[in-house]
Amino acid sequence: MGEFRPVPDALLYLAGSWLLERSVRDLASTDEGTFIGTATFSPLHREGRGGLLHHESGTFVWQGVTRPAERTLHFLPGTAPGTVDVRFTDGRPFHDLDLTSGRWITDHPCAADLYRGEFTVLDADHWRTVWRVAGPAKDLVLTTDHTRDRPGGQPRAD
C-alpha cells in the first residue's frame, strides 16, 4: 500500500455508517474465518467530552459455524487535535488513534498477548485496519476493510 489519505479530524471522518468485511487468520492452525457486518459511529455525550459510540454487528463464520457477533467501543477526543482515545465501554483504555498522516500504528497489551494495529485511510470512503495478535494464547491476523455506507450506494461527492 503506497498512498494514504491524511485525515485532520478522525472523529469527523469516522462519523456515520460503514460496511465491514473482516478476515481472521489463525497462523498457528491455518484456520480462516470471516466477519461481514456494519459499524455505526454515532454521537456520544460522555462527561461533556463528546466523541462517538462505535457499535459493530454482523455475522462471524469460524470453522464452518455461523454466529452473530457484535462489539461496542467509545471513541473519545484525544489529547491532540483530531486524535482519538479509544476505550472499552467500561472505560478501560484500548488504544490511541491519530489519522493526521493517513496511517497509524498502535499497540494493545491483553494479558500475555500483544495486539498491534495498523490503521490506514485509503480515501474518503475506505479505510482498513490490520491487527496482528501474538503471544502464548493467540497467533492471529485480523484484516478489516471499511466502506462508507451510502444510501443507494452513491459515492461521496468531494
140 class by beta-carbon count within 10 Å (0-12 exposed, 13-18 middle, 19+ buried): buried
Mean pLDDT of 118-136: 97
What mean pLDDT is predicted for residues 62-78? 96
Average pLDDT over residues 74-83: 95
% helix, strand, coil for the chain, step of 5: 5, 60, 35
CB 41 within 8 A of CB 54: yes
Answering whether pTM is above 0.85, one says: yes
Cβ–Cβ under 8 Å, residues 11 and 80: no
Q: What is the tens place of the pLDDT at every residue in 87-102?
A: 999 999 999 999 999 9
- Average pLDDT score over residue span 98-108: 97
- The identity of residue 44, as a single letter, is L
Using the CB atoms, write b or e for 84-96: b if 16+ within 10 Å.
bbbbeeeeeebbb
**What integer best gives the mean pLDDT of the chain?**
93
Strand partners, 75: 52, 86
Residue 154 has pLDDT above 80, yes or no: no
The percentage of the chain sitting over the pLDDT mark of 90, rounded to a whole number, equals 87
Specify the pLDDT at position 49.
74
Mean predicted confidence (pLDDT) in 79-93: 95
